[in-house]
Structure 1
Amino acid sequence: MKINSLLLILFVLFINAVQAQDDTPVSVVKNQFKINPLLSPGFVYEHGFSSKNTLYSEASLILGYRHNSFYDESTFYFVPRITEQFRHYYNLEKRALKGKRTAHNSGNFIALYADYSFESISTNKLFSEYCPSFTVGPAWGIQRTYKGKFNIDLNIGAGLNVDRFDTEFTPIANFSLGWVIGK
């Protein structure tokens, strides 16, 4: 009888411990590093400062190709870029309840997007130079991290682009493929 009572108490304690783990609130990762070697190579640091909000910081390189039909010449260009986003992940709990991944900030978000594109680090006198610009605006996005820490990040929105010649409305679109580094 004592063994059955002891087993029953241990079973109840075990069930309570499992339920307590299930009731823990879903939260963004406190510190997350990513490397994006494809499309727009760069490094990302995402800092979670509350359960649903992060500051996303990216240093990347825009790779481009131009062709000048008048001179029949082509060139590649490389533009360094810094991107900052204040992200609010709004569906983490819903994803967790459906049994979907929330690890490594896998969720949908809205963001205040800002980026600065520097002057091109490659030059060719037959082409106009790439003008530095600043873009800011709201964006909506999704981020998914799969097993093996493969990461997909897409965000789109509408913004205001300012350079030394113009100020104009512009679409915001950023797509990256990479890997989460660390835990």
Structure 2
Amino acid sequence: MKKKLLLVALLGLSKLTNAQEAKVEKSVFGVQTGYLGLWVNNESRLADKFVIRTEVGFDAGFWANSFYDQTGFLMAPVLIVEPKYYYNMAKRLEKGRNISDNAANYLSIKTSYHPDWFVVSNYDNINVISDISIIPSWGIRRNLGKNFNYELGLGLGVRYIFAKQAGYAENEINLADNISFKIGYKF
């Protein structure tokens, strides 16, 4: 009888030590798409609740006005570095919710750079003016099954536009927003 109790206790202890911990994954690699773009990303752990997200992809845009005879579409490359702090993982874990692949709420500083390398468009000779933006943001990341996820991000920051490179008199600083909804696949 003592052996059976000892065995049950050891199995229970084994389950506790293998339980999911409230910390971010070591590395999460995936691809995401949203209303205006397609991105490949990686989140690498810096500490228990901190990651650095690196992302490369294409931001897209549409236009229609009297200067063009049809609706325009373009896709331009974007490079993103975004430190994230996942602040509610322990709370989600206590409630029995899934936190795998960093499924939690976060605060971040999204830093994006749009270089004027090339543009994919339905018009010829379309360029973008390079810019860099820094946007403090709040977001959520949730899983849809084993490999799929979605993210919602909201934030407001600043954008520095390198207008002199495009022949304008001076560069500009404007407000920039981060309103995003992305659906992705984790590899």
Q: TM-score over 0.5 for the alignment?
A: yes
Contact 1:139–1:155, Cα closer than 8 Å, also in 2: yes
Residue 151 of structure 1: how far off its partner (Å): 1.1
Distance change (3 Å), C-alpha of 1:73 and 1:12: closer
State how far apart, in whole Å, the 2-side matches of 1:53 and 1:71 are. 46
Structure-to-structure mapping, 1:1-183, within 5 angstroms: 4-22=1-19, 25-39=21-35, 40-119=37-116, 121-122=119-120, 124=123, 129-163=127-161, 164=163, 165-181=171-187
- SS across alignment from 1:68: coil
Residue 65 of structure 1: how far off its partner (Å): 2.1
TM-score in terms of structure 2 length:
0.84
Larger Rg: 1
State how far apart, in whole Å, the 2-side matches of 1:178 and 1:87 are. 18
State how far apart, in whole Å, the 1-side matches of 2:88 and 2:172 are. 37
State how far apart, in whole Å, the 1-side matches of 2:66 and 2:125 are. 11
State how far apart, in whole Å, the 1-side matches of 2:39 and 2:75 are. 12
Letter in 2 for 1:178: G
Identity %: 22
- SS across alignment from 2:22: coil
Distance change (3 Å), C-alpha of 1:126 and 1:114: closer
State how far apart, in whole Å, the 1-side matches of 2:125 and 2:101 are. 45
State how far apart, in whole Å, the 1-side matches of 2:57 and 2:181 are. 12
Consecutive unaligned residues in structure 2, runs of 5 or more: 164-170
- SS across alignment from 1:11: helix
Residue 138 of structure 1: how far off its partner (Å): 1.1
Count of matched residue pairs: 176
Q: CA RMSD of the aligned region, Å?
A: 2.1
Consecutive unaligned residues in structure 1, runs of 5 or more: none
Q: Residues 122-142 of structure 1: CA distance to partner in whole angstroms, max 9, x if unpaired?
A: 464797x43221100311111
Contact 1:71–1:126, Cα closer than 8 Å, also in 2: no
Residue 173 of structure 1: how far off its partner (Å): 2.1
State how far apart, in whole Å, the 2-side matches of 1:168 and 1:70 are. 24
Q: Which moved more, 1:99-108 or 1:65-74?
A: 65-74
State how far apart, in whole Å, the 1-side matches of 2:10 and 2:125 are. 75
Letter in 2 for 1:172: N
Residue 168 of structure 1: how far off its partner (Å): 1.5
Letter in 2 for 1:29: E
- SS across alignment from 2:99: coil
Contact 1:155–1:173, Cα closer than 8 Å, also in 2: yes
- SS across alignment from 2:180: strand
- SS across alignment from 1:104: helix
